[in-house]
Chain A
Amino acid sequence: MVGLNAYRRDNFEHPTVGLLVVVVLALWTVTAIWLYRDRRRRTPLLLVADLAVVLAALAVTPWVKSPDFNATIPGFYVMGVFFAWAIHWHWRGGLVASALIAAFDLLPRTEVDQGNYGNTFLVLIGGPIVGYLCESLQRMARERDAAERAAAAADERTRLARAVHDGVLQVLAMVQRQGSAAGGEWAELGRLAGEQERGLRSLIRQQDTVPTEPGGRVDLAGALEAMATAHPVRVEVATPGGAVLVDAHVAAETVAAVRACLDNVLAHVGPDATAWVLAQAAPEAITVSVRDDGPGIPSGRLDAAASEGRLGVASSIRGRIEELGGTATVDSGEWGTEWELTVPLA
């Protein structure tokens, strides 16, 4: 700018004053850069002063050059303060600064040509847009920082929870072990500790398999685990590890069918029975097996019940699974009774 104004000093009616204005602008630039460097000095006062210097340079142009000047003394130097305002006060700052610059640029002119109009248009549209972009960037940075902090806090909580759970599980397992060895009332205490231990372990596994996928899909393994833990029959659940994501409706119906199987175990084998639930997941279908350690169903009894039209639980299990397009088969022997529920994932 200094060079350009020096080269075109013939355009100045008052070259000395023009030189002075340019030197003041150069000095102000150095001062402003130093002032802007420190965040504490970036006050509204500084921004207003910066704009005032530029506007003053614009305002004196007709007198220093000539009333029918072409370029203003600061020229494109105005962009500096314009960006400062947009960055600091976002789109509002950008708009105010660009409007003032445009007004001070246009008003002293005797005539406005195509070029002046184009520059003014760019300044007016650029101010708010640059301001808006800065605002978005700053907001995104803040959100990212917040998300990173939240993730770090969650990780730390999980780590602490692991340590606490591990300790609690150790103690519960110990109480269960020593209690059953000591017998009597201690054995009962041990049994209670065992129940709590299974419940806690199941909770931890469910927490590990919290679904992350949106869109009505839920974790079948976790849902089975939760239902089995709450069921009065002692149930051991085996899952493939990790979440088994299926439609919420499929999960709800499958869990209900498995619950019906377990109710059946409670009714026919009794409260001391143990049941095992195995969930398997293939891309095309899920399979849930439910086995109990009861004496099994005498052969022909299911068929006899069916022909007498009183199938009760068995039909409710079959009904739910067939509704989902799947199959439910039951097998029985000395080793107990096993239901196998297969549901296609289409």
Chain B
Amino acid sequence: MVSVMVVDDHPMWRDAVERDLQAAGHEVVAVASNGREAMARFPAAAPQVVVLDLQLPDSSGVQVTSMMLEHDPTARVLILSASGEQADVLEAIKAGATGYLVKSASSAELIDAVVRTADGEAVFTPGLAGLVLGEFRRIADGPADDPRDQLTERETEILKMVATGMSYKQIAARLVLSHRTVQNHVQNTLRKLQMNNRVQLTRWAIEHGLDEA
């Protein structure tokens, strides 16, 4: 059983997601319809997984993601978005969300994603894998950075397979690796992306003299 918080401004959606999760035996410990409510209820509810819509009326899902992770770094955020605004999705992942799902996913896919997110697995769609590959390409083409920021060949290979719709199981079989190893590689790519984002933010803060405050 996973304790879940659902943040979405469409009541119809919130109810549907809540119903599906409860039917699958999970507990919905809190719901919120905007960023303010979400931040007010998040500390007390302490959910294992937050299912978060990217478009909220008062703040962006990106802001909510970083505020939640600042408050509780062990929190897991699964982005559930209708429109697939590419830039927003990438920003939310860089801010620390570990999963992304489009709203047209079936309820079985949603429940599977919530369980996997709670287990600490990274939930990728092919579209997200393509964006992450593109982002690492931009990092690689930028000013020379820490080689630890770059993807290894294996990680790139696996992300490419995720981006062409292969499941972790299929990838494991094709590369003759264990399922766990494939998962670790995918998680590593997210960790590197989030790390790079923090490094960039810190560098920006130092350049702008914000560290002296």
Q: Which of B134-142, B179-187, B191-199 contacts A (4 or more CB under 8 A)?
A: B134-142
A239 → chain B closest CB, angstroms? 6
| Complex Cα spacing A205 to B87, Å | 10
Q: Which B residues are in CB contact (< 8 Å) with A177?
A: 16, 103-104, 106-107
Q: Which A residues are in CB contact (< 8 Å) with B4?
A: none
B82 touches which of A166, A205, A239, A279 (Cβ 8 Å): A166
Does B130 lie within 8 Å of A238, measured CB to CB?
Answer: yes
If A181-B107, A282-B137 touch, does A241 touch B87 (CB 8 Å cutoff)? yes
Does A205 lie within 8 Å of B165, measured CB to CB?
Answer: no
Does B170 lie within 8 Å of A278, measured CB to CB?
Answer: no
Contact pattern, B 14-53, Cβ under 8 Å of A = 1, otherwise 0: 0010000000000000000000000000000000000000
Q: Which of A5-13, A142-150, A330-338 contacts B (4 or more CB under 8 A)?
A: A330-338
* Chain B residue with the shortest CB-CB distance to A168: B82
Q: Which A residues are in CB contact (< 8 Å) with B55?
A: 166
Interface check A236, CB cutoff 8 A? yes
Does A276 lie within 8 Å of B163, measured CB to CB?
Answer: yes
Contact pattern, A 204-245, Cβ under 8 Å of B = 1, otherwise 0: 110010000000000000000000000000001111111000
Q: Which A residues are in CB contact (< 8 Å) with B135?
A: 240-241
| Complex Cα spacing A282 to B85, Å | 22
Does B165 lie within 8 Å of A293, measured CB to CB?
Answer: yes
A241 touches which of B82, B103, B134 (Cβ 8 Å): B134
Interface check B90, CB cutoff 8 A? yes
| Complex Cα spacing A290 to B127, Å | 14
Interface check A342, CB cutoff 8 A? no
Chain B count of residues within 8 A CB distance of the other chain: 36
If A173-B104, A241-B134, A335-B174 touch, does A178 touch B83 (CB 8 Å cutoff)? no
* Chain A residue with the shortest CB-CB distance to B87: A241
Does A174 lie within 8 Å of B16, measured CB to CB?
Answer: yes
Q: Which B residues are in CB contact (< 8 Å) with A170?
A: 10, 12-13, 82, 103
Does B13 lie within 8 Å of A240, measured CB to CB?
Answer: no
| Complex Cα spacing A279 to B133, Å | 10
Interface check B116, CB cutoff 8 A? no
| Complex Cα spacing A177 to B10, Å | 15
Q: Which A residues are in CB contact (< 8 Å) with B127?
A: 236-239
| Complex Cα spacing A172 to B137, Å | 34
If A240-B133, A282-B137 touch, does A289 touch B86 (CB 8 Å cutoff)? no
Does B83 lie within 8 Å of A165, measured CB to CB?
Answer: yes
Q: Is chain A's binding surface mostly helix, strand, loop or mixed? A: mixed
Interface check A116, CB cutoff 8 A? no
Contact pattern, B 86-114, Cβ under 8 Å of A = 1, otherwise 0: 11001000000000001110110000000
Interface check B173, CB cutoff 8 A? yes
Interface check B166, CB cutoff 8 A? yes
Interface check A283, CB cutoff 8 A? yes
Does B134 lie within 8 Å of A242, measured CB to CB?
Answer: yes
Interface check A169, CB cutoff 8 A? yes
| Complex Cα spacing A278 to B133, Å | 10
| Complex Cα spacing A176 to B13, Å | 13
Interface check B152, CB cutoff 8 A? no
Contact residues, A309-346 vs B (CB, 8 A): 333-335, 338
B130 → chain A closest CB, angstroms? 3
Q: Which B residues are in CB contact (< 8 Å) with A242?
A: 86, 134
| Complex Cα spacing A180 to B109, Å | 13
Does A241 lie within 8 Å of B131, measured CB to CB?
Answer: yes
Does A201 lie within 8 Å of B84, measured CB to CB?
Answer: yes
* Chain B residue with the shortest CB-CB distance to A240: B134
Interface check B164, CB cutoff 8 A? yes
Interface check A65, CB cutoff 8 A? no
A-B contact pairs, 5 of them (CB 8 A): A165-B83, A170-B82, A238-B164, A274-B165, A289-B160
Known: A201-B84, A238-B129. 18 other contacts (CB 8 A): A170-B103, A174-B12, A177-B107, A180-B106, A204-B85, A208-B86, A238-B130, A240-B133, A277-B164, A278-B126, A278-B130, A278-B160, A278-B164, A280-B130, A280-B160, A289-B164, A291-B165, A338-B164
**Closest 9 interchain pairs by CB?**
A240-B134, A238-B130, A276-B165, A173-B103, A291-B164, A169-B82, A276-B164, A173-B104, A278-B163
Binding site for A on B (CB under 8 A): 10, 12-13, 16, 55, 82-87, 90, 102-104, 106-107, 126-127, 129-131, 133-135, 137-138, 141, 160, 163-166, 170, 173-174
Binding site for B on A (CB under 8 A): 162, 165-166, 169-170, 172-174, 176-178, 180-181, 194, 197-198, 201, 204-205, 208, 236-242, 274, 276-283, 289-291, 293, 333-335, 338
